[in-house]
Structure 1
Amino acid sequence: MKLHPIWNDYPQLQPELTQTMKLMENSIELKNKAVKAALLEMIGAGGKLLRPAYQLLFSQFGPERNRQKAIALAAAIEMLHTATLIHDDIVDDATLRRNLPTVSAEFDNNTAVYAGDYLFVACFKLMSNYTGSLRSLQSNAISMEKILSGELGQMEDHYNLSISVDDYLSNISGKTAELFALSCSVGAFESGTSQLFAKNVSNIGHNIGMAFQIIDDILDYTQAQTETGKPVLNDIRQGVYTLPLIYALQTDPRQLTSLLEKKEQMTENDIQKVYQLINKLGGVTKAQNLANSYTKQALKKIENLPDNAENTKTTLQQLTRTLLTRTN
């Protein structure tokens, strides 16, 4: 069990993130050895733990912060995130994640479904044991609904050459940004901040999540598989059209449409042509500009946060800025 290298620059967060991972592992109490092995391998695969990190950081603003509780809620949120990844990989028929075989590829789809389902259960067990109010449980349930809505929206837009920027933003608002928003708001509220403060930091998390997903999609067009930990341009093969491609389609639909209409029959040469056109038509640059805009909104709101003994605001600023320059 090893933390992602991103946390080398944040030694103050390392102990709690390490305990978060340990608690996740200890929460896997299964007789089924295959499912248990799949879950432990996924947890130990070196995810960034960004969502639990934001949860832990925002918990530092509350007057009633309980370290054990903060770690437990961080673990619950990461288990929820991991469950969605496992199920995503089944739907996408993905074979790689974090440079390792996906649960469905290494075991089988049945094992992966049960593994994801178990994590949902483990998430709610931790939430119910440690949350101080029904409100946080309700927020978790609402967030799960929004995540599913975003995933369904993306599924409905498969091979949709008419997909708009707004359609894309609506999908990622649910599938990605919602969990960042939940991490920030639950961290704050469960440490004793006001509902208004928790709502404000939820907006910070939303903007961070939007920027994070846009950049994740940009990396398909700028980085190699060894850097991203997943097959590059995989979304195009599956008919998932992300922001760089959508912007390029708006600029010159004729050249791209003739290639994309081949759908799953696209050759490697076709995909490389799409890759080149997206960069040539400014799709990556426009997407990066929008990611920058969301990040600037988040940073502006972070600047207005109160100062505290832990210097949390500075840590949040530094961590959030790294989202603009990450390469995997």
Structure 2
Amino acid sequence: MKIHAMWDKYPDLKHNLEKTQALMEQSIRLPDKQIETAILDLIRSGGKLLRPAYLLLFSEFGKQQEMNKTIALASAVETLHTATLIHDDIIDEADTRRGVRTLQHKFSKDVAVYAGDYLFVVCFKLLAKYSSSLRSIQLNTNSMESVLLGEIGQMSDRYNLDLSLDRYIQNISGKTAELFAVSCFIGAYENGTTQQFANDCREIGKLIGISFQIVDDILDYSQKSEMIGKPVLEDIRQGVYSLPLILAVQKNQDAFLPLLMKKETITNSDIQQIHHLIIEHNGIEAARSVAADYTQKALKKIARLPNTANNTKETIYDVTESILNRTF
């Protein structure tokens, strides 16, 4: 079982992530073996497993850590994340995900919808079996709602040239940050920390998730111009405007208007021009500044976490600094 190389320097965590992925795979049992294999291929396709990693790390602050339960909860969170990816691919009409053909491309949109729905069921079966209280189940339900509201918000803002920073943050707070937040909360809460401490962990996760998404947006636009393509190309065609573009448009909407008004008919050449305009109007640098602000807020809160014998705080800090300052 191959786990992302970023975890090699944390052997204990890597071992638990291997257990997490193994339980996910064991929980996928479908009569249609082709579809089952397609789901398993996605699970095994090299995702970073960040959300279960944070759940596992924050569980170490608890006084009553039960590894079987914690592994199951980590599996539930990553299963939920995988379900949202499948549904994202349907909406985006994506052909590949992590180098693997998407379910909707390999089979059909109908099959992909049912596969994503099936993973929601797997998630809640794991939660129902291993959660010590209804609080985590309730929180996961609320998280699903937040993710969907973020997606709906993004959809309703398609081709919106007046999209504000606050509105963008609101959308990604649901779409991306919520699962980071719930991972940190459940890891702490389900292993015996106080409600207040778990809430503080949730806030850390939210900040990490917001910064993570902004960094993703920056990386999309930071490639050499000849490399610009998916997902930037398809996002712009679909009217999904991420932060570097939003901030550059705010500087000079008139420069972007003739290109963006083309909507679905926009060409690759138009995308190149938009890329140059974003650089010219410092959209990437402005987005980096916003990401740095959220990153520093997250790191400051992590630095205030209690010390533990196994240096959990230091590991969380190191992992967070690494993923939020990444260039890949």
Shorter-normalised TM-score: what interval?
over 0.9
Question: TM-score normalized by structure 2?
Answer: 0.96
Shift of 1:82: 0.5
Count of equivalent residues: 327
Q: Please tell me the root mean square deviation across aligned C-alpha atoms, in Å.
A: 1.6
Give the equivalent residue in structure 1 for 2:145: 145
Give the equivalent residue in structure 2 for 1:77: 77
Structure-2 separation of matches of 1:221 and 1:99: 20
Shift of 1:100: 2.4
Structure-2 separation of matches of 1:229 and 1:321: 28
Asked if the contact 2:41–2:100 (Cα under 8 Å) also holds between the matched residues in 1, the reply is no
The answer to whether residue 242 in structure 2 is matched with residue 259 in structure 1 is no
Give the equivalent residue in structure 1 for 2:176: 176
Change in 2 beyond 3 A, CA 1:55/1:239: same
Question: TM-score normalized by structure 1?
Answer: 0.96
Give the equivalent residue in structure 2 for 1:285: 285
Which segments of structure 1 move beyond 6 Å, counting only runs of 4 or more? none
**Within 5 Å, which residues of 2 pair with 1:135-214?**
135-214=135-214
Give the equivalent residue in structure 2 for 1:272: 272
Give the equivalent residue in structure 1 for 2:300: 300
What letter matches 1:137 in structure 2? I
Asked if the contact 1:154–1:240 (Cα under 8 Å) also holds between the matched residues in 2, the reply is yes
Q: Match of 2:307, SS?
A: coil
Q: Match of 2:64, SS?
A: coil
Structure-2 separation of matches of 1:180 and 1:188: 13
Shift of 1:229: 11
Shift of 1:224: 7.0
Structure-2 separation of matches of 1:230 and 1:107: 22
Asked if the contact 1:96–1:231 (Cα under 8 Å) also holds between the matched residues in 2, the reply is no
Q: Match of 2:11, SS?
A: coil
Structure-1 separation of matches of 2:24 and 2:44: 10
Change in 2 beyond 3 A, CA 1:106/1:7: same
Encode CA deviations 1:228-260: one digit per residue, 9 max, x unaligned. Answer: 995443311211001100000000111111100
Change in 2 beyond 3 A, CA 1:101/1:15: same
The answer to whether residue 4 in structure 2 is matched with residue 9 in structure 1 is no
Shift of 1:114: 1.1
What letter matches 2:217 in structure 1? D
Identity %: 55
What letter matches 2:102 in structure 1? T
Structure-2 separation of matches of 1:275 and 1:102: 28
Give the equivalent residue in structure 2 for 1:310: 310
**Within 5 Å, which residues of 2 pair with 1:75-114?**
75-114=75-114
Asked if the contact 1:17–1:52 (Cα under 8 Å) also holds between the matched residues in 2, the reply is yes
What letter matches 2:286 in structure 1? K
